[in-house]
Chains A and B, each alone.
Chain A
């Protein structure tokens, strides 16, 4: 379980997170929703330690707040960034390979064939395009690649930053199926940051609503799904 206590995050003089508290349960899908600029991405960046932040982040007894970004990745807390972040000039397979660095090390001798096979099983489309350069993939394929790369890191926790962004609804639906599969079948804890509140709440177990750097609401996703405040603010009209 990741326990976040009184997390503050700063971009220069601007305070993006104003002391939030969260608990991310093992094996569950926890989502973090909120409008633009609420601080959702900042939360993930804070856990990964790529921004200036204060506060306690404890994972399985280990205090992450003293670790560098590389070390946090080695702890098995993998961050799939906003905008996919695939390496454009590397092929699909090379991109997947880069995901193994946190346990393989630059000069290690570990084998990753098994990990690769499992990712290709999950995302057959990636296997088809294994030697294609990543810049030429469609948005959806790039997102799959980013998630696949995350999986190659043998994660215990995967943090996904707005995976649905810029993707067509059908593609998003397929993607979320895979996310659920990863969680149910491999037992990987998921922390999902999303603008698409509807979809996020549908697949999650627990949810936090973030507004202007503070946690506004929290609770089991099922409940928040029908909470009138959430519905009116984030879901618009239309069928669930």
Chain B
């Protein structure tokens, strides 16, 4: 009798343990991680936590890589010196996106095949981000897109955007231009690349909402390869002289914005000019020289003293590199966000848990708060800054929360 009782108790115990173990493997993040996790795990035999970063190691955009690398190096050594992520050393694996969509897609595929990666970070070019959207969702690995195109914001699983959308930039620009700069007859100049053209079209739409119609004679689209902006400047000048233009709005990339600024200034167009965040990019400022002084811009991040967190980061950066970070150099801060995500997930290798953690974590960065905004929305941002260029440097005016 005793033997049978013992046997039944043992069986009961076994079954209840099994039942307990089974029920704790839900997708809910409880902080303890559970014995089995989500099943979608990164595997690193050396117990390091790996982050994949796709950047332009070669080709004409390689200067972006230089900025990113410096920033990631600083943050990486700081993070590892302070215990890494949950005690694990962190390492960054770089993938070269190259110069074309094809090379970018190949690089991303390599990244998805690397089983050690907990997350992947993609470059800032929206075209590349769009091209790899499907691959990212299929690979079930949380991917942070650096592009700002609205088309990237699909709400698809595992896709996240840590930059404000072009439409948010457009909304901010229009709000400031109409309310503060008092534009009534704007001229719009834009780069016909898909992402910047979209930005321009949003501007036109929002202007329309404010009762300002912009016709074809007031819009100038130019190709990404355009080199000669004096023809556009001459036409804008002619509109200004005829009283048909009292402000210029631009949406482009560094080289063309700089050339446009030079040409507009050379042609004597002395009306206020405002553009997207690329206006205050280092490259734009150095190429345009004095001609971009007085331009307004939106900015996604800034380097001014404000807030204890930013100051601390600025000093760390200065100590490590010998100079303070500028708006180009915030890429590496992502690693601290990842640290917070992993701690919330309870497991730095569990890709699904990390993915879910994004929905629960609110994280403060030098450029604003990363926060989840609901089902179907991949974008984590809600603020932009407006600034003006003075003496070749961007000076912040104020922060604008657009949602």
* Chains A, B in direct contact (C-beta < 8 Å): no
Which B residues form the contact surface with A (CB < 8 A)? Answer: none
